[in-house]
Amino acid sequence: MATIMACILFFTLLFLDQGVKLYVETTMLPGESISVIASVFHITYVLNPGAAFGILAHQRWFFLLTAIAIIVAFFCFYPKLRREPPLLYYGCVSLAAGAVGNLIDRLRIGYVIDYFDFCVWPVFNVADVAIVAGVAGMIISILFGRKKKDA
């Protein structure tokens, strides 16, 4: 059952990310911004050549190799992950879905399409949210999860 839920989570995040990116890409021009809540939240079409906050801009090969390494590690450790606490398990699934979402953009157009703009934070996308939520879940699980009994 956990594997089915993991697949549902993975593909929901991936399709949501790619669907919104496709919508933004086909209905807006790069740099265009639509106000949803004035001075608070906009949909802004940004082509990001780097990572969060635009760091390491134009290091495409680094990001491609990093994403591939994350995905390969996920599949290599998947049998063990299925036995881990749910927060760690689903955190890894979320991280992998986000990595695949941004990897698709980098392979397809050489950039990541970002669109959520809160005006006080760099523009980001669903894949970025999945990555951050996944890593947060993993950290919380590791720090506050079940403790192994002393031998």
Q: In this structure, is residue 28 part of a structural domain?
A: yes
Domain count, the chain: 1
Q: How many CB atoms lie within 10 A of CB 94?
A: 25
What tokens does 134 get?
């996944």
Scanning 28-125, the segments in alpha helix (DSSP H) are 60-81, 86-109
R_g (Cα) of the chain, nearest Å: 17
Q: Residues with catalytic annotation?
A: 114, 128
Q: In this structure, is residue 123 part of a structural domain?
A: yes
Q: In this structure, is residue 98 part of a structural domain?
A: yes
The domain of 135 spans 2-144
Q: What percent of the chain has pLDDT over 90?
A: 64
Q: Cα–Cα distance between 39 and 100 in angstroms, integer?
A: 32
Q: In this structure, is residue 150 part of a structural domain?
A: no
Task: Provide the whole-model pTM.
Answer: 0.86
Residues pairing with 42 in the sheet: 35, 117
Q: In this structure, is residue 66 part of a structural domain?
A: yes
Instruction: Please tell me the least confidently modeled range out of 47-51, 74-78, 118-122.
Output: 47-51
- Residue corresponding to tokens 């669903």: 126
Q: In this structure, is residue 149 part of a structural domain?
A: no
At 66-86, the pLDDT tens digits run: 888 988 998 898 888 888 899
Query: Which are the contacts of 49, defined by CB distance < 8 A and separation ≥ 6?
Result: 57, 58, 60, 110, 111
- Looking at residue 63, what is its pLDDT? 77
Q: In this structure, is residue 151 part of a structural domain?
A: no
Q: In this structure, is residue 68 part of a structural domain?
A: yes
Query: Which are the contacts of 77, defined by CB distance < 8 A and separation ≥ 6?
Result: 92
How many residues are present in the chain? 151
